[in-house]
């Protein structure tokens, strides 16, 4: 048997062009993503994508990009479910070692096991980090494999989350904002720029989601107008928006009323077009 066959670089041949290698890489990434339910290939997907981008530039095949993102989304959701199940299983170990009324148990479960079972994407990372930190603090009691397991959940979740894209319905749930409002904000805040898959479906990056959460805070909690929020986001400085003078002249009032009508008309048009 010729052992060189096992160590030969089969891609090092003039018969495989850059275009063929590019297509092979894209198919390879699609297959990895399709089978990444448990997150086993997340690191490989990330490394291959980085190498691909370094050699060929930004990926232009929308199907490949969408497949990768969907695979990472599934992987992230599976990590979350696996983490929740693991916490439920390990709660007995924590209770057995420290006692349910102990300060150590409270480090792991300050609000009880239910907090983990009902966790959402909005707070799951904080819970993972808290549990991993508590495990690391008490490694001498719970053991290194226990610590490694929960550090692994946190690492896998962050890797998949950083690279993932969200559908508009998922963003709506995460931000607790109706999808038609998200479409309206997209028209008013130019930095909210979701990608589009071949199906024309909006796909939001993590930075889009973070910006949407910031917009929601500015509008709903801090009382900014849309124009004021835009200025704030552009300058990074607080914008003073004095209340309208009730005695302003009728001309100014008419202008304000026309502007409100225009914004309502724009919102109505967006509401009509509810298709993804």
pLDDT at 53: 67
Query: Do 207 and 150 share a domain, yes or no?
Result: no
Nearest to 271 by CA among 192, 144, 179, 188: 179
Tens of pLDDT, residue by residue over 228-263, are 999 898 886 655 554 443 344 445 555 555 665 665
pLDDT for the residue numbered 275:
46
Same-domain pairing of 157 and 177: no
Give me the phi and psi of 204, to 5 degrees please. -95, 135
Could you list the residue range(s) of the whole structural domain that residue 116 is in?
A: 16-164
Residue 100 inside a domain? The answer is yes
Q: State whether 130 and 75 are in the same domain.
A: yes
Instruction: Looking at the structure, tell me whether residues 69 and 188 fall in a common domain.
Output: no
Q: With a threshold of 0.85, does the pTM exceed it?
A: no
Contact 154, 129 (CB under 8 A): yes
Q: Which residues of the chain have pLDDT under 50?
A: 242-250, 274-275
C-alpha distances (whole Å) from 61 to each of 22, 35, 126 are 10, 19, 35
Alpha carbon distances (Å) from 19 to 14, 15, 34? 12, 11, 23
Neighbour-count burial for 160-193, b at 16+ CB within 10 Å, e otherwise: bbebbbbbbebbbebbebebbbbbbbbeebeebe
pLDDT value of position 170: 83
**9 falls within a domain:** no
Rounded to an integer, what distance in angstroms lies between the CA atom of residue 24 and that of residue 260? 54
CATH of the domain at 257: 1.10.1660.10
Split into its structural domains, the chain has a count of: 2
């Amino acid at each position: 048997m010729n052992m060189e066959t096992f160590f030969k670089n089969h891609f090092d041949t003039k018969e495989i062009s850059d275009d063929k290698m590019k297509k092979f890489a894209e198919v390879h990434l699609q297959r990895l993503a399709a089978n990444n339910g448990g997150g086993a290939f997340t690191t490989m997907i990330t490394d291959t994508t980085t190498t691909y981008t370094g050699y060929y530039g930004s990926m232009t095949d929308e199907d490949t990009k969408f497949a990768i993102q969907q695979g990472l989304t599934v992987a992230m959701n599976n990590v979350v479910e696996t983490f929740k199940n693991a916490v439920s299983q390990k709660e007995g170990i924590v209770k057995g070692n420290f006692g349910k009324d102990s300060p150590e148990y409270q480090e792991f479960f300050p609000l009880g096991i239910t907090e983990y079972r009902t966790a959402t994407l909005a707070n799951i990372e904080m819970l993972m980090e808290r549990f991993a930190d508590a495990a690391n603090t008490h490694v001498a009691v719970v053991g290194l494999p226990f610590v490694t397991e929960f550090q692994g959940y946190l690492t896998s979740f962050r890797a998949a989350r950083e690279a993932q894209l969200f559908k508009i319905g998922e963003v709506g749930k995460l931000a607790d904002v109706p999808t038609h409002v998200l479409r309206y904000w997209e028209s008013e805040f130019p930095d909210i720029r979701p990608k589009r898959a071949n199906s024309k479906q909006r796909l939001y990056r993590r930075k889009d989601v973070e910006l949407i959460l910031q917009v929601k805070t500015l509008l709903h909690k801090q009382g900014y107008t849309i124009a004021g929020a835009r200025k704030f986001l552009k300058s990074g400085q607080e914008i003073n928006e004095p209340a309208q003078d009730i005695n302003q002249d009728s001309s100014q009032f008419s202008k304000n009323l026309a502007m409100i009508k225009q914004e309502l008309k724009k919102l109505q048009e967006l509401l009509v077009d509810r298709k993804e």
